[in-house]
Amino acid sequence: MAQTTQSDQKRALVKLEVKTEAGVELRNPNASLIDPDTNKQIVAFHDSTAEGVPYGVYVLRIREPGFKWHEQRIEVNKPDVSVRLHLTIADILDTVRIP
């Protein structure tokens, strides 16, 4: 049986299309793919694109200021993967500290 090296592993291009509830596109959102077993970042997105992503299952994590944090499971199993989603505006929370 042949051994698979990292260079032999199939890799993909993952593209994001992130919009607000009003339909405004967010360019270059703060997004990354997380290994669900280790909770470590595998790759970050640049200009809404991640290149050279090894095939597998990931958690897509988006942390965009002013919006609720978003996480979803995605499976990268073909050369080009597109993800479209809408972010919800964050709620305003008041924090009160009592000495």
Query: Domain total for the chain?
Result: 1
1 lies in some domain? no
3 lies in some domain? no
61 lies in some domain? yes
Q: What is the DSSP string of the chain?
A: -PPPPGGGS-EEEEEEEEEETT--B-SS-SEEEE-TTT--EEEE-BTTEEEEEESEEEEEEE--TTB--EEEEEEE-SSEEEEEEEEPBPPP-------
CATH number for the domain including 36? 2.60.40.10
98 lies in some domain? no
Residue in the structure block whose two tokens are 């994590």? 61
Q: State the pTM of this model.
A: 0.81
The residue ranking higher by pLDDT, 99 or 78, is 78
Q: Which tens digits make up the pLDDT trace of 57-96?
A: 999 999 998 899 999 999 999 999 999 999 998 887 644 4
94 lies in some domain? no
97 lies in some domain? no
5 lies in some domain? no
Q: Which tens digits make up the pLDDT trace of 4-61?
A: 445 578 999 999 999 999 999 999 999 999 999 999 999 999 999 999 999 999 999 9
